[in-house]
Structure 1
Amino acid sequence: MSESNTSDFINPSTFILLGIPGLETAHVWISIPFAAMYTIAVLGNFTILFIVKREPSLHEPMYYFLCMLAITDIVLSTSILPKTLSIFWFSSREIDFNACLTQLFFIHCFFVMESGICVAMAFDRYVAICHPLRHSTILTNPVVAKMGLGVVLRSSMLVLPCVLLVRRWPYCRTNIIPHTHCEHMAVVKLACGNTQISSYYGLFVMFCVMGLDVFFIAVSYTQILRSIFSLPTKDARLKTFGTCGSHIGVILAFYIPGLVSSLMHRFGQNMPLHFHILIANMYLLVPPTLNPIIYGVRTKQIRGRILRLLGHKGMKVLS
């Protein structure tokens, strides 16, 4: 690279997002499932928020955490999809440097936040099943609010150093990012000099999220399963385990795509770049899309409220 070109990228004013390199001709077709998933995620999670707000019987810790999850899913999907779809539909590939860092912060912060909410929901299920008589005294509204605040603060404090490190690196290679969004390592790879601290810190954050959070969830569900299997009848065991079904589905929908993407990033170097990018998008899009469906189908109170709402609107149309 010539000296003049090198100096142009030391402090780039904009980055260029390529979308999915190698699949440019299929961008419009790829946008269809992406747009459908985004629509389901936004409408589904807003429906959850609306129903919990309108139904007094749902004003309890489990549904407060569900509302936190819904807000997180809306912000997480909105952090990537509008820009991704503008690349696919309008070839709008430029993104301002500061806007790129803002997107990077929101994506990773709300991803970490969602993991923290999964831990909080696992703790809620643990208290509800293992200590049912003390559930209302342990998980009071102030305690739930403090847990939510703790999740937000933890996410912000873990992710903010990533953004500050990315901001201080000089960029002398190129301003082209072969991705649909400003993913942390995709941006770091464009920087000059020794950026190992960013890589190591990214791994540390991944360990804190995937490692510690999964450990705490596993401990909670070990205690839950022990309590369930100690119940006297099969019907009681199935009924109690059914109250955890939605949360287990959310955990699987969140951690499995993330784990697959992480393993591919570490060990799938021989796989095509476009496959890596598609998987990276899936682990951010799948949870926000599936979570409202899982809770809408498996949670009787929410399912019943949705059916009543649809039935009420249907009667108005017929009348």
Structure 2
Amino acid sequence: MESNDSFIMLATFEGPYSVQLCAFGLFLPLFVVTIVANVAVLATVAARVDLHKPMYMFLCSLVVADLISSVSTMPKQFQMLLTGDNRILYTTCMAQIFWINVFVIMQVLTLAAMAFDRYVAICFPLHYHTIVTGKRAIIIFSLWSLTISAFVPVTILFAPLKLKDSDRQMQGILCDNIGFARVSAGDTRIHEAYGSGIIVVLIALPLSVISFTYFRILPECKRTHSSDFKNKAMYTLFTHFLLLMLFFIPLFLSALVPRLGCETSAAVPSTQVSSCPYQM
């Protein structure tokens, strides 16, 4: 049986138990639908040879990342809603941090790869099959390898840290790097420096790649005289831009805004937990 020394406290859903049960009844079907839909996408792409194309391979990469994120985080949230027990094991928290980080970075890198794929298809259509198609498996494998390799050191750095004897309350409903460092008793400056480096390399650089591809594709669309080509190119840009917005808007809201909120609400202990959700 685990001792209380190995537990960390997560923020809980504030409300009567009946409301928590309603939330459980609402989110559980959504979770099941998400899992089934993602598995269906993977099965469809695997079964149909005509879908074995780079964009669908990248889509499958996004789906796998989404599955990992959902399975590694949602069961604990359902348990908290049902039991009200907001304790999470140290080892479970470490695993959750690892897979959430992998999910976020994998999404960013895959979206950057999709942007590059569209850039080559639109700006260099005659060379597309030699540049991208033959290397799709290598690209996807490299993205996953890079992402996992980047966060293995984070886990190794966090592992020796001891938890504080008191104040083990995280500010979010999920385990995250900043929250874990906050409840740790040791020096976390190395962790913060490494985390900042990852943000620069694995988020800022992919965003730069995405911006570059957009700036190159848009002039190409204006120069072409083929309305069919222009329509296909703009549709491609629109669908990719929609994916970007669906991912980055929630990411920025959950990572950047709460940090500012935590600073301004630090003097109000009663609202500190509920006002600071997941931070990367």
Match runs of 1:1-319 below 5 Å: 12-20=5-13, 22-23=14-15, 25=17, 26-141=19-134, 143-174=135-166, 175-269=168-262, 270=264, 272=271, 273-277=273-277, 280=278
Q: Which amino acid aligns with 1:153?
A: S
In 2, the alpha carbon distance for the partners of 1:37 and 1:234 equals: 40
Contact 2:258 2:275 in 1 (8 A): no
Query: What percentage of residue pairs aligned between the two structures are identical?
Result: 25
Contact 1:23 1:274 in 2 (8 A): no
- Bigger shift: 235-244 or 52-61? 235-244
**CA 1:265 to 1:173, structure 2 compared with 1: closer, same or farther past 3 Å?**
farther
In 2, the alpha carbon distance for the partners of 1:198 and 1:30 equals: 35
Structure with the bigger RCO (C-alpha within 8 Å, sep 6+) is 1
- Bigger shift: 185-194 or 67-76? 185-194
Report deviation, 1:40.
Answer: 3.5
**CA 1:164 to 1:256, structure 2 compared with 1: closer, same or farther past 3 Å?**
same
CA deviations 1:130-152 (Å, max 9, x no partner) are 111211111134x1122112211
**CA 1:169 to 1:222, structure 2 compared with 1: closer, same or farther past 3 Å?**
same
CA deviations 1:43-68 (Å, max 9, x no partner) are 22122112212222111111111111
**CA 1:94 to 1:267, structure 2 compared with 1: closer, same or farther past 3 Å?**
closer
Contact 1:173 1:190 in 2 (8 A): no
1:296 alignment counterpart? none
Q: TM-score, normalised by structure 1?
A: 0.76
Q: TM-score, normalised by structure 2?
A: 0.85
Secondary structure class of the residue paired with 1:192: coil
Contact 1:18 1:93 in 2 (8 A): yes
Residue correspondences, number: 269
Report deviation, 1:71.
Answer: 0.9
Q: Which amino acid aligns with 2:199?
A: M
CA deviations 1:217-252 (Å, max 9, x no partner) are 111111111211111155542232113332221111
**CA 1:94 to 1:262, structure 2 compared with 1: closer, same or farther past 3 Å?**
closer
Secondary structure class of the residue paired with 1:144: helix
Secondary structure class of the residue paired with 1:160: helix
CA deviations 1:18-58 (Å, max 9, x no partner) are 424x4465433443553344233222212211221222211
Structure 1 gap ranges (5+):
1-7, 284-319
Q: Which amino acid aligns with 1:165?
A: L
